[in-house]
Structure 1
Amino acid sequence: MYDESVVPVKMESFSGVAAKSPISQCIKTVLGRARVEKRLTIGLLPAIQYLSKNTNGALFCLTAAAPPGDSATHMQEVLLQAFCAENDIYVIKVDSEQKLKKLLGFSETRMDFSCILVHYPYTDPFSDSQEFDTSVLSEAENDLIEHCETNWDYAQMPVIKLPEK
């Protein structure tokens, strides 16, 4: 029986090994690693600013729904999601900005967590190549990519219910 807090998804990683954890746990793992490695851009406006200068550096864009009645933020999110899709950045919708804050250890801040960009892991900083070495991706990042690829063509993206802690 599946835990009701996650969207049940059967998937495989790129290595062909079945994913070991639900998507919400993959997100938690990816965010934790990216935070330690300083590969996050947090907030809707910082994300837009980052992407306006660097369309190739982001791997995932996690978004939480705008508060009801905030049509300006909703329009910015829709445009950001369209931009990400056009530039092959995986968009992942999550159920709560508050849960994103808690997962990253910022429960007491007033920062905007409606959007979080996860950048590619650092590769050779002296290389002139614009290609990223996907062999440095973690198992959780590969599982999350596979989840996104599976859901890429759906008209409505599934909303991932994040763990409380």
Structure 2
Amino acid sequence: MFIATCPLLQRDRSTEIYTTMTLTEINENTNMQKDPQHNPNIGSNLREAIWQGLEQERLTCGMLDCAKLLESNPENVMICVIPEAVDDVTVHIHQTLIVAFCLENGIRLVRVDSADKLLKLVSGRKGTKPNDNDVVGGRAIGHDAGCVIVQYPEDSLSAEEDVVMQWIKAMMYASDGPTAVVNISV
């Protein structure tokens, strides 16, 4: 059939280039769009990516520290994680500004279901001991999970990070922004 062999153009928002997609790839992408939570393991993959960032000192926590990083070095931001349903109006306004900045600058953004769960995640894996002063990579952790940024690794992406990045890419194609909320477990 002619339609099956005719490549279609799809704009890649992160790099501002156009790529061709076959009908099979379009159908797979459409299935992901119909069900944004299509990957049932996305929560565990995101959790692992956050833990890897923490262990490799690539994690920034807190609204002020994240805003500073976004302003000074946005090209090094791999993922920006924002919790859903924050009660504090000030935090909500800051999050709205960070979300707008991320969308405007092509930074991958993930919304998670709970600030409390995110706070537990950035505290580290179960059974690991946090360091004495709750500082990772020169940045304080453990008290503000209103925004969490994972920077790119020096080497290549891990399998979990790659899954999260591909899921976010599919979500961005599915709508004008990240509308699905990832349920994370701690």
Interval containing the TM-score (normalised by the shorter chain): 0.7 to 0.9
TM-score, scaled relative to structure 2 = 0.65
Distance in 1 between residues matched to 2:53 and 2:81, nearest whole Å: 13
In proportion to residue count, which structure has more strand?
Answer: 2
Higher relative contact order (CA 8 A, sep 6+): 1
Superposed CA RMSD: 2.2
Distance in 1 between residues matched to 2:89 and 2:103, nearest whole Å: 21
- Work out which of the residue numbers 51, 74, 80 in structure 2 matches 1:32: 51
Query: Aligned pair 1:140/2:160, yes or no?
Result: yes
Match of 1:161 in 2: 183
- Work out which of the residue numbers 148, 154, 173 in structure 2 matches 1:122: 154
AA matched with 1:72: T
Deviation, structure 1 residue 8? 3.6
State the structure with more CA Rg: 2
Distance 1:110 1:143, change over 3 A: closer
What percent identity do the matched residue pairs reach? Answer: 26
AA matched with 2:96: V
Structure 1: segments with no counterpart, 5+ residues: 1-6, 11-20, 124-135
Query: Aligned pair 1:152/2:172, yes or no?
Result: yes
Query: Aligned pair 1:41/2:63, yes or no?
Result: no
Structure 2: segments with no counterpart, 5+ residues: 1-35, 127-140
Distance in 1 between residues matched to 2:93 and 2:161, nearest whole Å: 28
In proportion to residue count, which structure has more helix?
Answer: 2
Q: 4+ runs of 1 displaced by more than 4 Å?
A: none
- 8 A contact 2:85–2:114 mirrored in 1: no
- 8 A contact 1:47–1:115 mirrored in 2: yes
Distance in 2 between residues matched to 1:59 and 1:35, nearest whole Å: 13
TM-score, scaled relative to structure 1 = 0.73
